[in-house]
């Protein structure tokens, strides 16, 4: 973080899947709610001390009143339903939620935040506040009676009541409150900070009403989007109807890394080097938007990060070799698998959760898709080559592009053989077949372009349909060279028209 001038570590320390901090006031939080995976208070102090030496603040987050299953494993009396509770192994949004109508809830939080305020010296504490499921609130007669008594018309008003009570507690311990979009409700003091994960509109609306804000929407690095997309996303949209004073209320942005689909072995590759692009955006004027120069420098920074101890590059070959099991790959097989991994990317967004496989916190993340980088630099370089080739119109240089397709057809043949030979690689067979068809299509297009021939509308229509089919994910991966082939096919279509 210090190497790229990131200056705040937002540490998300509680979730449905685990409570991760030692609490001496409420020890059952970490004893029963963590599977034994938690930071001791001495370890917390060590991290804060190291961060401080590097000029980095550490802001903790304890997500309440929702995303709170792990709290209730040890302390079910503060929940809105009786339980019993156990740590959640799946991912998503779940029903367990704190009971805002129980006075004991606030006594609990008063003691808890007194302890955590002493442990974390930063002036801010993040309370989460996102994705609160109201199912248990609606089913609880005590809570419904409480809402009627206090004239709280809906669940949003009930959460706003809860937030105000938590704000009183944090203020008592000289802390400022930060929360996700959902805490933005009328009546909250203007010294809270709103973190926008759903879009810039909440940030703009908050600033126009005098609230400070942080943007994380567009910077979710766990979604495997491109560095380009992150880089062109600015905390203050150019078209935002904000005065200069209101713009100053937007404090910055945050590269947000969630951990559903990472392990200690893969997390660095999901964070770096793309987070360096986000860091540059946050420290740069909005008008600096040279994407090609960004990528030129990103490759250099990537190597430098590795020298600083980041393992985003060095772990991939080891993970790929492990896929062979007891019988090691032959050198040429290893090179072919590496070549396929260099142009394959995990599906974007939350799509891995909808590909037919249910992920839990216990799932081993050791498949081919986990070995692939979020963004293929080779595919980007190839697309740039294709763009230059098409722009220049020097068809006598077709061989420069053709060589890539020849290489990838060979990679496809070798990896199809690997898929048949190694059980854990069976799933990449269709991916390798897609690469073979995509490479063959690229070669066909190049020959037509080189010869200046018109393949006809029927041929073009059929190939467009084929290309759309080849875009479909295989083994939860997508081939990153597809956009370049689409550019080539588009040029051929212009020739026909």
3-state SS record for the chain:
CHHHCCCEEEEECEECCEECECCCCCCHHHHHCCCCCCECHHHHHHHHHHHHHCCCEEEEECCCCCCCHHHHHHCHHHECCCCCCCCCCCCCCCCCCECCCCHHHHHHHHHHHHHHHHHCCCCEEECCCCCCCCHHHHHCHHHHHHHHHCCCCCHHHHHHHHHHHHHHHHHHCCCEEEEEHHHCCCCCCCCCEEEECCCHHHHHHHHHCCCEEEECCCCEHHHCCCHHHHHCCCCCCCCCCCCHHHHCCEEEECCECCCCCCCCCCHHHHHCCHHHHHHHHHHCCCCCCCHHHHHHHHHHHHHHHHHCCCCCCCHHHHHHHHCCCCCCCCHHHHHHHHHHHHHEEECCCCHHHHCCCCCCCCCCCCCHHHHCCCCCHHHHHHHHHHHHHHHHCCHHHHHHHHHHHHHHHHHHHHHHHHHHHCHHHHHHHHHHHHHHHHHHHHHHHHHHHHHCCCCCHHHHHHHHHHHHHHCCCECCEEECCHHHHHHHHHHHHHHHC
Alpha carbon distance 103, 83 (integer Å): 19
Given 131, 133, 306, 427, which residue is catalytic? 131
Pinpoint the residues of the chain covered by CATH 3.20.20.80: 2-307
Alpha carbon distance 253, 182 (integer Å): 17
Q: What is the pLDDT of residue 87?
A: 98
The verdict on pTM exceeding 0.85 is yes
Q: What is the pLDDT of residue 168?
A: 96
Sheet of strand 193-196: strand arrangement:
8-12, 57-61, 124-126, 176-180, 193-196, 212-215, 250-253
165 is catalytic: no
Q: What is the pLDDT of residue 202?
A: 82
Q: What is the pLDDT of residue 495?
A: 67
Alpha carbon distance 291, 228 (integer Å): 6
Give 10-residue mean pLDDT values along the chain (497 residues). Answer: 97 98 98 98 98 98 98 98 96 97 98 98 97 96 97 95 96 97 84 91 89 95 97 89 93 96 96 98 93 96 95 95 86 96 97 92 95 98 95 86 97 97 95 98 95 91 96 97 96 74
Alpha carbon distance 128, 230 (integer Å): 23
Tokens of 29: 């939080």
Alpha carbon distance 54, 59 (integer Å): 15
Alpha carbon distance 22, 29 (integer Å): 8
Domain covering 2-307 in this structure, CATH number = 3.20.20.80
Tokens of 494: 């212009």
């Amino acid at each position: 973080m210090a190497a790229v001038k990131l200056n705040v570590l937002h540490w998300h320390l509680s979730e449905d899947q685990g409570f991760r901090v030692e609490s001496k006031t409420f020890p059952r939080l970490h004893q029963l709610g963590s599977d034994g995976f938690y930071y001791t208070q001495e370890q917390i102090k060590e991290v804060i001390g190291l961060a401080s030496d590097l000029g980095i603040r550490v802001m903790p987050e304890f997500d309440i009143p929702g995303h709170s299953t792990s709290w209730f494993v040890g302390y079910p009396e503060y929940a809105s339903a009786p339980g019993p509770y156990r740590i959640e192994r799946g991912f998503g949004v779940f029903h367990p939620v704190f009971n805002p109508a129980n006075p004991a809830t606030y006594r609990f939080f008063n003691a808890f935040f007194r302890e955590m305020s002493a442990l974390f010296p930063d002036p801010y504490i993040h309370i989460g506040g996102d994705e609160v499921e109201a199912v248990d609130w609606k089913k609880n007669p005590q809570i419904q009676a409480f809402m009627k008594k206090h004239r709280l018309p809906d669940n949003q008003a009930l959460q706003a009541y809860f937030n105000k009570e938590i704000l009183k507690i944090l203020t008592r311990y000289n802390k400022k409150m930060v929360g996700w979009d959902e805490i933005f409700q009328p009546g909250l003091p203007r010294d809270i900070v709103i973190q926008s994960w759903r879009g810039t509109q909440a940030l703009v609306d908050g600033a126009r009403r005098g609230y400070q804000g942080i943007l994380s929407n567009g910077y979710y690095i766990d979604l495997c989007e491109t560095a380009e997309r992150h880089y062109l996303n600015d905390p203050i949209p150019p078209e935002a109807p904000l005065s200069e004073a209101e713009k100053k209320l937007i404090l910055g942005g945050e590269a947000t890394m969630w951990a559903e689909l990472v392990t200690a072995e893969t997390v660095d590759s999901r964070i770096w080097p793309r987070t360096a692009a986000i860091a540059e955006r946050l420290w740069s004027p909005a008008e600096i938007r040279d994407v090609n120069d960004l990528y030129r420098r990103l490759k250099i920074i990537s190597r430098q990060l590795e020298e600083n101890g980041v393992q985003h590059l060095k772990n991939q070959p080891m993970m790929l070799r492990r896929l062979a099991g007891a019988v090691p790959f032959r050198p040429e097989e290893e090179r072919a698998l590496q070549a396929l991994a260099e142009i394959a990317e995990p599906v974007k967004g939350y799509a891995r959760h909808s590909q037919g496989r249910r992920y839990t916190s216990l799932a081993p993340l050791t498949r081919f898709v986990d070995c692939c980088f979020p963004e293929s630099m080779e595919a980007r370089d190839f697309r740039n080559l294709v763009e230059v080739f098409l722009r220049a119109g020097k068809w006598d240089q077709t061989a420069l592009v053709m060589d890539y397709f020849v290489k990838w057809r060979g990679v496809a043949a070798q990896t199809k053989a690997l898929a048949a030979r190694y059980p854990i690689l069976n799933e990449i067979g269709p991916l390798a077949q897609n690469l073979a068809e995509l490479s063959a299509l690229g070669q066909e297009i190049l020959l037509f372009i080189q010869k200046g021939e018109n393949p006809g509308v029927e041929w073009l229509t059929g190939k467009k349909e084929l290309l759309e089919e080849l875009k479909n994910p295989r083994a939860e991966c997508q081939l990153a060279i597809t956009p370049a082939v689409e550019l080539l096919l588009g040029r051929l279509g212009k020739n026909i028209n």
